[in-house]
Amino acid sequence: MYTIFKNESSITLTDSLKNKGNKSFYYFNKVNFKDLLRDLDEKIFQITIYHPDLELMWQTFKNNFNVIEAAGGVIKNKNNDILFILRNGKWDLPKGKIENKENTEAAALREVQEECGLEKVALNNFILSTYHIYSEKGKEILKISHWYAMTSNENRFIPQIEEGISEVVWKNNKQVQKALQNTYQNIILLISAGSEISHN
């Protein structure tokens, strides 16, 4: 299953017929993507699209977009706090585009260090990939972000201002819950998936 966000809306690609009776359930070969994306801009939807071959559907789905791949980290310290960045007025986690010939692990570490000004970061396990769609210069972009669990105990940060980052802060569980009220849907999904990861 793949869940792709566009603003507050979501598209779930699945090979399960479990939600067949829902109004928002579509068969993949009957979907008009231009109409679908226009509707997502105008209203909030949770759409499910079905095909028995999930990977074939995913590859075909991606062909409708310019695909950009990125990598980043969910960084925790010895207190199990999470390192957040405030980017363009929203709480986010550090990530950025993967450069040519760079693997996802190296890109994730580099972006975390660049965006937060960190020096000592340990890369742990892969968590998951998130997907979101946005429009840029009249084109529909699908960004695939690969996320890794990381650890660090640094307390001096240098926000990468040129990337729209104004703050870098550790947040405890209560502060994280408040931050999630002003963030993106894929970050909420990611924090939920990484909630069991603790400092090594």
* DSSP line for 135-165: EETTEEEEEEEEEEEEE---------GGGTE
Q: Where are the beta strands (DSSP E) in 29-121?
A: 46-50, 66-76, 82-87, 90-92, 95-97
Over its C-alpha atoms, the chain yields an Rg (Å, rounded) of 18
Q: What is the pLDDT of residues 53-79, one digit of tens each?
A: 999 999 999 999 999 999 999 999 999
Around 14, how many Cα atoms within 13 Å sit in the side-chain half-sphere?
16
Task: Quote the tokens at residue 105.
Answer: 């692990």
Note whether 24 and 47 are within 8 A (CB).
Answer: yes
Task: Tell me the C-alpha to C-alpha distance, in Å, between residue 187 and each of 113, 115, 179.
Answer: 19, 17, 10
Confidence of residue 21 (pLDDT cuts 50, 70, 90): confident
| Closest-CA residue to 153 (of 194, 199, 195, 106) | 199
Distance CA 137, CA 67 (A): 14
Domains and CATH numbers, the chain: 2-62 (no CATH), 70-193 (3.90.79.10)
Q: What is the mean pLDDT of residues 166-174?
A: 97
Around 109, how many Cα atoms within 13 Å sit in the side-chain half-sphere?
13
Unique residue bearing structure tokens 């690969």: 146
| Closest-CA residue to 132 (of 11, 23, 42) | 11
Q: What is the mean pLDDT of residues 86-109?
A: 96
Q: What is the pLDDT of residues 131-165, one digit of tens each?
A: 999 988 888 999 999 999 999 999 999 999 999 99
Q: pLDDT higher for 98 or 38?
A: 98
Confidence of residue 198 (pLDDT cuts 50, 70, 90): very low
| Structure confidence at residue 195 (pLDDT) | 61
| Structure confidence at residue 194 (pLDDT) | 66
| Structure confidence at residue 197 (pLDDT) | 42
Q: What is the mean pLDDT of residues 20-47?
A: 84
Q: What is the mean pLDDT of residues 23-43?
A: 84
